[in-house]
A and B are shown apart, each in its own frame.
Chain A
Amino acid sequence: MIEIRGLQKSFGSHHVLKGIDASISQGEVVCIVGPSGSGKSTILRCINGLESYSGGSVDIDGRRVDNRHASIKAIRAEVAMVFQRFNLFPHRTVLENVIEGPVYVKGEDRAAAIVHAKELLASVGLADKAGAHPPELSGGQQQRVAIARALAMRPKAILFDEPTSALDPELVGDVLQVMRKLAGTGMTMVVVTHEMQFAREVADRVIFIDGGVIVEQGPAAELLNNPQSPRTQDFLRRVLHPL
């Protein structure tokens, strides 16, 4: 469903991605892990065209992702994104945030969009917050609204860019719980994360990236329990046993 071929990206003279090949099929949950600055988030941002890439290609269901082309809007409407810092619209209520895309991008009927949005808010445990404004919510609640907002577009896939990195530790669990439930429904998910426990339990596949290349990838349990590359071993040791 998502085909990445020889993906390269440079910021000025800084070569962030040096040829990434990955294929993500429908219903798959893929976690991308690796040290800070390794290019994990850049991959996600190339998938929905928030970044342009300097070489290689990204295709979604056979359509080329090119953010200079008008087709990018249709692709983005099908591939939702959840951000590290939530990026909810602070001037609109929770409910308005969730119906914004369906009503104004896809032109859905407002009343139907509201019904759907309320179901989604209930499914992330925030039915009672529909009328609140985002700044009144905790980080964990905001991120769950952001997930509901992503789902409201009825996307084919959702990209998660370090969804729990900006949260207080006690709020991480609620968000991961929602994501786990989502994975159970067969949603295609690409998750950049530092939550190894989540990756181990929920991901079908884990991709380890360092220095702009894929160092190692494989089934979650296999890669996390029995990493082959010394770089992966070193990274996992630091993350899992920081002391």
Chain B
Amino acid sequence: MSTFLHNVWEFLPILLQGAKLTVLVTLGSLVISTLLGLVWAAMRVSGIPLLAKISAGVINLLRGIPIIVLLFFIYFVMPDFGLSLTALQAGILGLGIAYSAYQSENFRAGIEAVDHGQVEAAQAMGMSWRLTMRRVVLPQAFRITLPSYGNIMIMMLKDSSQASTITVAELALQGKLIATSTFQNATVFSLVALLYLIMCVPLILLVRHFEKRGRK
């Protein structure tokens, strides 16, 4: 027991370093995926056929490529085209781009869930498309999308571990490094799992809060 506690005491600081990077990768890619997702969704609902088609094409492309392959592309292939990123930058960018497809579909579903009568009421008082979106549709779509937005955050937190494949020393990779050098597999990976869980709990509670508020 005492060796177990000793191991935990020894490993935890290293794993927490990794957890810090995990949070950084998650937050960074959350920002990028949200912004890009908004762009795709806006193009999709713009009513301009060319933009809608481009957006649909990009989303299908991104959905059809595994995140890990996208990361390899950005980290290993882009330098051939003159774009060299650090592992951390590539990880954030790759996850952000990959998740922008899911964000976009979520936003679009939220926009389309707003009752069409709302759009008609806005237009009947002379609102432009932009004003209708800004004042009437988006505020309502925002509330509708919040619970699934929270779920996407949880998935992103866990999928940030894929950045380990391009040498980002986040939680999963730190765990693997400690495990291969100490052979304390059970202790190390239990700690890694526990740390992911601890980070997810606040997000799970947040989703529950959004869902409760949405029902009101």
Contact = CB atoms under 8 A, between A and B. Distances in A.
Interface of A: 48, 50, 73-77, 80-81, 83, 85, 87-91, 100-101, 104-106, 149, 153
Interface of B: 115, 117-118, 120-121, 123-128, 131, 135-136, 139-140, 143
A31 B123 CA distance: 23
B125 A91 contact: no
B127 A105 contact: yes
B143 A80 contact: no
B120 A83 contact: yes
Contact of A77 (B118, B126, B139, B140): B126
Contact of A104 (B117, B118, B135): B135
Contacts of A73: 126-128
A236 B119 CA distance: 35
Task: Specify which of B124, B131, B136, B140 lies most central, judged by the most chain A CB atoms within 10 Å of its CB.
Answer: B124
A3 B131 CA distance: 29
A24 to B, nearest CB: 18
Contact of B131 (A81, A87, A105): A105
A48 B127 contact: no
Contacts of B127: 73, 101, 104-105
Contacts of B115: 87
Contact of B140 (A74, A75, A85, A90): A90
B120 A104 contact: no
Contacts of A104: 127, 131, 135
Query: 8 tightest A-B contacts by CB?
Result: A77-B126, A87-B121, A101-B125, A87-B117, A76-B126, A81-B124, A73-B126, A105-B126
A76 B140 contact: no
Contacts of A76: 123-126
A100 B135 contact: yes
Nearest to B124: A81
A105 B120 contact: no
A85 B123 CA distance: 15
Contact of B118 (A74, A81, A89, A149): A89
